[in-house]
A and B are shown apart, each in its own frame.
Chain A
Amino acid sequence: MIYNYLGNYSLVFCLIFSLIIFFLCFKSINDPRKIIEKNIFSLLFLQLLTIIISFFSLIILFVLSDFSNETVYNHSHTTKPIFYKISGSWGNHEGSLLLWLFVLVLFIFIFSLTSKKHPKKYRIFTIIFHEIIVLGFIIFLLSVSNPFNMNYPIPYEGLGLNPILQDPALAIHPPILYLGYVGSSIIFSSALAALVQGYVNKNWASHIKKWIIISWIFLTLGIMIGSIWAYYELGWGGFWFWDAVENVSLMPWFCLTALLHTIIVLEKRNILKSWTLILSIATFILSLGGTFLVRSGILNSVHTFANDPSRGIFILIFLFIIIFLSVIIFFLFQIEESTSRKTFFLSKETSLIINNWFMMYFLSVVLIGTTYPIFLEVLTSDKVSVGPPFYNKLLIPFLIPFFVVMAFGPKLQWIKTKFSKIKYTNFFYFFISLAASVFIIRYSEAKYLFSTAIFVTSFILLIKTIEGFFEKKNNFSQKLSHFSFSIFILSILLNGAFSTEFSANMKQGDELNINNNSIKFINLKTLNKNNYKTVITTFEIKDKQGRILKFNPEVRIYNQPEILTSEADIKSNIFSDKFLVVNLLKDDGYFNVRYQVKPFMSWIWFSIILLTIGGILSFFRKI
Chain B
Amino acid sequence: MYGKKVKLRILFLSLALLAAVLTIFLILKSLEENVVYFKSPTEIKNINELSDKKIRVGGLVKKGSILSSAEKINFVITDFKNEISVSYKGAVPNLFAEGKGVVAEGFLKDRNFLVAKKILAKHDENYMPPEVKKALENN
A384: contacting residue among B30, B37, B95, CB under 8 A: B37
Report yes or no: B127 in contact with A304, Cβ–Cβ below 8 A. Answer: yes
Q: In this assembly, does A361 line the interface, its C-beta being within 8 Å of a C-beta of chain B?
A: yes
Q: In this assembly, does A503 line the interface, its C-beta being within 8 Å of a C-beta of chain B?
A: yes
Query: Contacts A234-B123, A235-B93, A566-B94: A300 and B131 contacting too (C-beta < 8 A)?
Result: yes
Q: In this assembly, does B6 line the interface, its C-beta being within 8 Å of a C-beta of chain A?
A: no
Report yes or no: B91 in contact with A581, Cβ–Cβ below 8 A. Answer: yes
* Interface bits A270-304 vs B (CB < 8 Å: 1, else 0): 00000000000000000000000000010010111
CA distance A376 to B89 in the complex (A): 31
B124: contacting residue among A305, A386, A393, CB under 8 A: A305
Report yes or no: A372 in contact with B31, Cβ–Cβ below 8 A. Answer: yes
Report yes or no: A586 in contact with B125, Cβ–Cβ below 8 A. Answer: no
**Total number of B residues with any Cβ neighbor in A under 8 Å:** 42
Report yes or no: A300 in contact with B130, Cβ–Cβ below 8 A. Answer: yes
* Interface bits A366-407 vs B (CB < 8 Å: 1, else 0): 001100110010000011111101100110000000000000
| Distance to closest chain A CB from B64 (angstroms) | 9
CA distance A386 to B33 in the complex (A): 10
**Total number of A residues with any Cβ neighbor in B under 8 Å:** 51
| Distance to closest chain B CB from A538 (angstroms) | 19
Q: In this assembly, does B11 line the interface, its C-beta being within 8 Å of a C-beta of chain A?
A: no
Report yes or no: A385 in contact with B66, Cβ–Cβ below 8 A. Answer: no
Report yes or no: A393 in contact with B34, Cβ–Cβ below 8 A. Answer: yes
Q: How many A-B residue pairs have CB under 8 A?
A: 124
Q: In this assembly, does A79 line the interface, its C-beta being within 8 Å of a C-beta of chain B?
A: no
B68: contacting residue among A365, A368, A383, A588, CB under 8 A: A588
| Distance to closest chain A CB from B129 (angstroms) | 7
Closest to B131 in A: A383
Q: Which residues of B contact A9 (CB under 8 A)?
A: none
Q: Which residues of A contact B73 (CB under 8 A)?
A: 505, 585, 592
CA distance A262 to B93 in the complex (A): 43
Which of A217-225, A418-426, A447-455, A556-564 lies at the interface?
A556-564
Q: Which residues of A contact B35 (CB under 8 A)?
A: 372-373, 376, 384-386, 390
Give residues 341-378 of A contacting B (CB, 8 Å). 361, 364-365, 368-369, 372-373, 376
Q: Which residues of B contact A368 (CB under 8 A)?
A: 27-28, 31
Q: Which residues of A contact B123 (CB under 8 A)?
A: 162, 164, 234, 302-303
Report yes or no: A383 in contact with B125, Cβ–Cβ below 8 A. Answer: no
B30: contacting residue among A162, A390, A583, CB under 8 A: A390
Q: In this assembly, does A594 line the interface, its C-beta being within 8 Å of a C-beta of chain B?
A: yes
Interface centre among A236, A302, A364, A564 (most CB of B within 10 A): A302
Give residues 92-139 of B contacting A (CB, 8 Å). 92-98, 120, 122-127, 129-131, 134
Q: Which residues of A contact B92 (CB under 8 A)?
A: 583, 585, 592
| Distance to closest chain B CB from A532 (angstroms) | 13
A389: contacting residue among B34, B68, B95, CB under 8 A: B34
Q: Which residues of A contact B36 (CB under 8 A)?
A: 384-387
| Distance to closest chain A CB from B95 (angstroms) | 7
Report yes or no: A390 in contact with B122, Cβ–Cβ below 8 A. Answer: no
Report yes or no: A562 in contact with B30, Cβ–Cβ below 8 A. Answer: no
Query: Contacts A383-B38, A389-B34, A503-B90: A561 and B125 contacting too (C-beta < 8 A)?
Result: yes
CA distance A364 to B66 in the complex (A): 42
Q: Which residues of B contact A588 (CB under 8 A)?
A: 68
Query: Contacts A385-B56, A583-B93, A586-B98: A505 and B71 contacting too (C-beta < 8 A)?
Result: yes
In the complex, 8 of the A-B residue pairs with CB atoms within 8 angstroms, ordered by the A residue number, are: A162-B125, A234-B94, A305-B127, A369-B31, A376-B35, A505-B68, A505-B73, A510-B70
Q: Chain B: residues with CB nearer than 8 A to chain A?
A: 23-24, 26-28, 30-31, 34-39, 56, 66, 68-73, 89-98, 120, 122-127, 129-131, 134
Nearest first, the 9 closest Cβ-Cβ pairs linking A and B are A594-B91, A390-B34, A383-B38, A384-B35, A590-B68, A503-B91, A563-B125, A505-B68, A503-B90
